[in-house]
Structure 1
Amino acid sequence: MEEPWSPGLWERPGRFMAAEAGYPEALWVLAGAPLELTVSYRAGTRWGPARIREASYALETYSPHLDRDLEELAIHDAGDIALPLGNLGQSLARIEAALRRPYAGGKRVLLLGGEHLVTLAAVNAALDRYPDLVVVQLDAHTDLRDRYLDEPYSHATVMRRVLDLVGPGRLWQLGPRSGLREEFQLAREQGRFYHDVEEGADALAGQLAGPLRGVPLYLTVDIDVLDPSVAPGTGTPEPGGPDFATLLRALYRLARAGARLVGADIVETAPPLDPSGRTEIVAAKIAREILLAFTGEVAQ
């Protein structure tokens, strides 16, 4: 089997359900990035990828909402990216290097985090192939600080760094309800910002029928976008979020509008913080629905 990586770059935990395809034939490449170096409140994201994979086997491969089955897709689980403990720069560089080849080959990537900073590396890799990329963020937090505790690279600054990469007008933020006044001001001035995830999805869907038709999208889902009653296992929970059904309706709205999704991630799942285990189940189901909902061919 052709390997899209260098020796020593990957580790091989268990697979996500139905992700049995080899790399050459895969439409989707699934990867884990167990990064946990800049969390500011409660730890546990390094266990996210492994526990999301494990939780996936509590679900069915079939989605009754979409009438589609993972068994009908070619999904390759590449494993977890091996990250050097304590070295943030090298960790981000390894994530970017690991994902660059699947993107270059026209494959779609679903990344399981790990803290939200992994999105920066993933977007960097995707931009090599898709320079007109638009990023869609589902999150309880704006994550637009320029620095946090005097550090420019943090889970609290990740979308500011992404905005630096993609430029004004190419960041859509759906669901933020926490952040500094300056962050909300920046979100309104340089991006597209919606407190309500369904309202934001409707607005984006309208653009997908017009000026954003065919534009490649990258979707980042911070699990804390959901109300903590739905997903308590996350480092910085924020009350007042949508329920699970509302989040799925927003995703389905984008899929029905023909979103050209080339990559996605699900981040900030911290299993040790949720003894019930429901947060990783929620994350695994979101992963299933993303894989199934955005199955149309990606134009090269």
Structure 2
Amino acid sequence: MFPGATADRTDADYVVVGAPLDRSTTFQPGTRFGPDRIRRFAASFEDYDHHTDRHFSDLGVHDAGDLHAWSDAAAYVDFLAGELTDVVDDGATPVLVGGEHTVSVAGVHAVDPDLFVCLDAHLDLRESFDGDPWSHACVTHRSLAAADHAVIVGARAGSEHEWERARESDVSLVAPETVRNRGAVAVEEAVDAAVDDPDVTTYLSVDIDAADPGVAPGTGTMEPGGLSAREMRDVVRAVAPMADGADVVEVNDRDDGQAATLGGQLLRAFVFAHAER
């Protein structure tokens, strides 16, 4: 159980769902261990958050455990989306814990957002990768089949075609250097520019590789030049109040817990900031 996720399912305002899919990781596999590691390393955190003057255990969080993954990604994502849709239909906010980034597509299907906001080292705008349309490298492309616009924060890697695709009007980029110089304000401005409806539905996806690998080395495809832990936390806090669902993905077991610890902190930051709204 995620520490502090003590609410009953019927009373929950937030439902944590683990999705240990681990089939298309390009470089370092191990995301199947992500949900358990995030739960385990989150045990070191205080229940109290001084930023919001609240206790995590008072926020109505329920941990539904993991949904066992299998090799057919399309079928698994469809099944996972059904489970998350039940969460949404019950009036709760789904918080998905991966697993490889492919599972985010299920969260997007459940929330059906107008806006997809993603912290990620990679653009993930490929239609397929190595012949696989369900690769983790295709998540933003797939999410744009549902969302009208994507704001990608922290991207610093992609194919030539992906960078060309990112120049189209339905994609906005906030570079790591921009976040470093201007903070979460730059992301808020990008979101405001992308949508003109204050009631827009938003999904927030946090790929842990948005962080610099010196901060979170336990991930599948490390890319130097990334965000700091503080920068990621501030962006999550800024976006959370407008989000209708979220995930933390791409944590694996290839470090001493740095990536999982950051993932757990960002999950908590999302819930604390979202509950404030």
Structure-2-length-normalised TM-score: 0.92
Q: CA deviation at 1:251?
A: 2.4
Question: What aligned pairs does 1:124-163 form with structure 2 within 5 A after superposition?
Answer: 124-127=109-112, 132-163=113-144
Partner of 1:62: 48
One of 275, 278, 281 as aligned partner of 2:258? 278
Tell me the distance in 2 between the aligned counterparts of 1:267 and 1:152: 19
1:191 is the counterpart of 2:176 = no
Tell me the distance in 1 between the aligned counterparts of 2:52 and 2:28: 35
Partner of 2:151: 172
Partner of 1:9: none
Higher mean C-alpha deviation, range 226-235 or range 152-161: 152-161
For the residue of structure 2 that corresponds to 1:71, the secondary structure is helix
Letter in 2 for 1:295: A
Tell me the distance in 2 between the aligned counterparts of 1:252 and 1:123: 20
- The answer to which structure has the higher helix fraction is 2
Higher mean C-alpha deviation, range 189-198 or range 137-146: 189-198
Q: CA deviation at 1:101?
A: 0.6
Structure-1-length-normalised TM-score: 0.85
Q: CA deviation at 1:41?
A: 0.8
1:104 is the counterpart of 2:104 = no
The answer to whether the 8 Å contact 2:115/2:150 transfers is yes
Tell me the distance in 2 between the aligned counterparts of 1:70 and 1:18: 6
For the residue of structure 2 that corresponds to 1:117, the secondary structure is helix
The answer to whether the 8 Å contact 1:81/1:94 transfers is no
Give a deviation string over 1:232-264, Cα, whole Å, max 9, x none: 000101000111111222223335xxx321100
Unaligned regions of 5+ residues in structure 1, if any?
1-14
Q: Structure 1 38/23 Cα, relative in aligned 2: closer, same or farther at 3 Å?
A: same
Letter in 2 for 1:277: G
The answer to whether the 8 Å contact 1:81/1:98 transfers is no
Tell me the matched-pair count: 270
Tell me the distance in 1 between the aligned counterparts of 2:47 and 2:191: 27
Root-mean-square deviation (CA), in Å? 1.7
For the residue of structure 2 that corresponds to 1:137, the secondary structure is strand
Letter in 2 for 1:260: M
Give a deviation string over 1:208-239, Cα, whole Å, max 9, x none: 9x813121211000000000010000010100
Q: CA deviation at 1:175?
A: 0.9
Q: CA deviation at 1:45?
A: 0.2
1:42 is the counterpart of 2:23 = no
Tell me the distance in 2 between the aligned counterparts of 1:137 and 1:237: 16
Q: CA deviation at 1:180?
A: 1.1
The answer to whether the 8 Å contact 1:55/1:281 transfers is yes
Q: Structure 1 76/123 Cα, relative in aligned 2: closer, same or farther at 3 Å?
A: same
Partner of 1:21: 7
The answer to whether the 8 Å contact 2:52/2:276 transfers is no
The answer to whether the 8 Å contact 2:32/2:99 transfers is yes
Q: CA deviation at 1:186?
A: 1.2
For the residue of structure 2 that corresponds to 1:57, the secondary structure is helix
Letter in 2 for 1:223: I
Q: Structure 1 161/254 Cα, relative in aligned 2: closer, same or farther at 3 Å?
A: closer
Tell me the distance in 2 between the aligned counterparts of 1:77 and 1:254: 22
Partner of 2:267: 287
Letter in 2 for 1:153: W
Letter in 2 for 1:39: T
